[in-house]
Amino acid sequence: MSRAQIEPGGCLILAGTPIGDFRDASPALRETLAEADIIAAEDTRVLRTLLQRLGVTTSARSVSYFEGNEASRTTGLMEEMLAGARVVVVTDAGMPSVSDPGYRLVAAAIEGGIRVTSVPGPSAVLTALTISGLPVNRFCFEGFLPRKAGERRRRLGALTAETRTMVFFEAPHRLADFLTDAAEIFGVDRRCAVCREITKPNEEVVRGGLGDLVSWATDHARGEITVVVQGAPARVVDIDGALARVRELVADGVRFSAAVAQVATATGMRRKDLYEQALAKREEHEDG
């Protein structure tokens, strides 16, 4: 009995697809695609190629389901499931809703009392993490950072005190800029692994300090990219150093409260305590 047949009635199935090597497709994925009523695909052309390579024949109706039409398409898919349809969501590679379409429909299905299940498959996040050579006992997934440089730097700045190994997705043409910003914010020697084209014939994993990888990325970034960055070492709070850093940021034009928040995040100090001490220090300087 396949996953799609576990219960009668409509249901939503998130199906993980191969991230590069089509031989990674599971028998459960093949059965689920074959027995679906509707397949909501990020790109229906990619879906057709997948079905052909897997040798799967299905009577399912395929519809596009991507970032641009998620909102409008969700209502129709909900109606189909409420009427008893088995809807399978697939993306171009990996698990739906992980930096890909799917979450909006999952939330709607749960709200509507529709059963949600999955056919697990390959994940670029976990695959890159395991081959990176960096600690895997604790990690966090940050996905794609903002495209605009200022917003990207602010997101990276908020991670300066993150001690867990961090996993990012990045587009090849933005990789060098990402690594440049990360090296400036985390330090040029922070260990990193750039994993490209995972499970494909030209798979490559480049490891080194963030600063060392910038020049490599400028000329060699191609294909699907996953970046794994070592977490920050645990910090010993130095109140004098923290107060000095607040003053430096304020001198550079950062608002006082924002400067306190940034330093508190970086040091692990309680923001309220740091704010009170920094305020007292500032008043002391003003009085002096």
Q: Please tell me the pTM assigned to this model.
A: 0.74
Angle at CA 67, nearest 5°, toward 62 and 73? 50
Mean local confidence (pLDDT), 262-288 = 82
Residue 135, domain CATH: 3.30.950.10
Nearest CA-CA partner of 25 in 14, 36, 16, 34: 16
Among the candidates 88, 122, 156, a domain finishes at: 122
User: Poorest-confidence range of 84-98, 123-137, 211-225?
Assistant: 211-225
Q: Are residues 33 and 88 in the same domain?
A: yes
Q: Are residues 68 and 155 in the same domain?
A: no
Nearest CA-CA partner of 195 in 183, 184, 208, 186: 208
Q: Are residues 111 and 153 in the same domain?
A: no
The residue with tokens 């739906």 is 96
Nearest CA-CA partner of 105 in 73, 145, 64, 80: 73
Q: Are residues 143 and 99 in the same domain?
A: no
Q: Give yes or no for a contact between 134 and 165, defined as CB atoms under 8 angstroms apart.
A: yes
Q: Are residues 156 and 85 in the same domain?
A: no
Q: Are residues 187 and 93 in the same domain?
A: no
9: confidence class by pLDDT, cuts 50, 70, 90: low
Indicate the average pLDDT of the chain.
Answer: 90
Other Cβ atoms less than 10 A from the Cβ of 47: the count is 24
- Residues paired with 193 in a beta bridge: 207, 228
Give residue 45's domain range: 3-122
In angstroms, the first-to-last Cα distance of the chain is 79
Residue 141 has pLDDT above 60, yes or no: yes
Residue 67, domain CATH: 3.40.1010.10
Q: Are residues 84 and 173 in the same domain?
A: no
Give domain status of residue 234, yes or no: no
Mean local confidence (pLDDT), 51-58 = 96
What is the number of structural domains in the chain?
A: 3
Among the candidates 229, 257, 275, a domain finishes at: 229
Residue 194 has pLDDT above 80, yes or no: yes
DSSP state of 17: B
Q: Are residues 283 and 272 in the same domain?
A: yes
Among the candidates 229, 249, 277, a domain finishes at: 229
Do the bridges between strand 11-15 and strand 115-119 make them parallel or antiparallel, or are there none, so unpaired? parallel
Q: Are residues 116 and 169 in the same domain?
A: no
